Structures are given as C-alpha cells and as structure tokens.
Amino acid sequence: MPGRHPADADPPLLVACALGIERFALRGGDRGDAAERARPRPVVLRTGMGPRAAERALGVALGESAPTTRSPVLASGFCAGLAPGMRPGDVIVASATRGPHPDAPETPCRDNGPLLRALHERGLRVHSGLLWGSDHVVRGAERAELHAAGAVAVDMESAATLRAARRAGPRPVAAVRVIVDAPEHELIRASTVLNGVIAFRTLRALFPVFHEWHRSLLLPWR
C-alpha cells in the first residue's frame, strides 16, 4: 500500500493486567516524544482477577481474527515479593512463570534481556527469577514456602496469561510486575496505602520500557 510504514504490519504488544487500577497506571504511562508515540501502540487488556479469568481473556483476545493474534504478550501489574529485603516499588522480571499445580510446567521468558537492561538503566531495584502463579492471595508462612521452592515473587495471573499466550501460537512472552507487599511490608499493615502509592507510581513509569522491549523484538537481527 503506498505510503504505508513498514511497522504498520507488525502486531502490537499486548500488555495484560488484572485490575482496573493496574490498567489505569499502565495507560497513564503511555507518553513520550513524537517518535515514541509513532510506534505501534500497545494494547492494554484487563483480564479480571485470577488465573481462570486471565486464561479466558487471553484466549479470546488471541483467538480472534485481529492484529493481536500474533502479538508478543507481556503480563504486568502488582505482585507480592517473597524474599527478605524486598520493598514496595521493586520490580520483578520473570525468568519463568509456573502455575500452582504440582505438575504445572514452567513457561520460560527468554526475551527479557532488554527489559532487564532498560530497568537497570532507570535506576530501579530489579529482581529476576521464578514468578509463581497462585489461585489465592498468599500470606505468612506460605510466602516462605514458595521462596524455599525457588520463587522470588507470586501473583495470580502471570503464569496463566503466558501459558494461554503460548498455547495460541509461538510468540515472545514476558512478565514484569511491581511489588506492592513483601515479607516485611504485608498488606495488612498501616503502611498499606503508602506502599500502594509507591507501587502505582513505579508501574506507571514502566510503560516506556515496554515500548523499548517491543521495539527490540522488531529489530532485523531478531
């Protein structure tokens, strides 16, 4: 088509999150200069809470005859940190995700190098490792058990999101979450509101990093 930019044919990045507040943070972070805004615009999909809702929403989004059918998928939003010393506002970049069932396979995130570099360059506290998928809110002793099993953080949707994305076809996948509570900063404490504000601001700041990751996937040597 005359005048069509080559990038127009590229599928948009699909960023999946569970909650309205997460979607608000991610969409609010969609800023940048003219060159940034000219890139393929990510689609921010609110899936609803829990693994079943996430899997169902991704199945619908990727099963439709639409540009997102071939999209890279990035799961984002808030999570709970499992390691001592983690703080609200720290960022988790999954090396892999895994669901709660004993026989659940891991979904590796092999394309997260550019994400890690971009986050470190922004001076953020970043942790990388296994992101565990749960079907309930994890507290207390269960946190320590999951950390002992090798997980660095836990949430309810990332594992299901990436599993559904890979089931719909081969594609790059990643999971980037912001810690809202950790062993020394549980949600039931008086600092909950402040911790939530810190996590919200960090999540809002991540959207340009997601743009950069998407762009790295489109480079010729990829």
Q: Which domains can be identified in the chain, with CATH numbers?
A: 6-218 (3.40.50.1580)
Q: What is the pTM of this model?
A: 0.87
CA pair distance 193, 185, nearest whole angstrom: 11
Structure tokens at 89: 């506002």
CA pair distance 30, 112, nearest whole angstrom: 20
Instruction: Read off the pLDDT of residues 16-62 as tens digits, 9 standing for 90 and up.
Output: 999 999 999 998 755 554 445 555 678 999 999 999 999 999 999 99
Chain centroid offset of residue 141 CA: 25
Task: Decide: helix, strand or coil at residue 54.
Answer: helix
Task: Decide: helix, strand or coil at residue 58.
Answer: helix
Tell the burial category of 33 from Cβ atoms under 10 Å away from its Cβ (0-12, 13-18, 19+).
exposed
CA pair distance 168, 180, nearest whole angstrom: 30
Instruction: Read off the pLDDT of residues 50-87 as tens digits, 9 standing for 90 and up.
Output: 999 999 999 999 986 556 678 999 999 999 999 999 99
pLDDT for residue 221 is more than 80: no
Backbone angles phi, psi at 147, to 5 degrees: -65, -40
Mean pLDDT of 116-139: 94
Structure tokens at 13: 């990045």
State residue 127's pLDDT score: 97
Residue 76 β-bridge partners: 176
Number of H helices, E strands in the chain: 8, 8
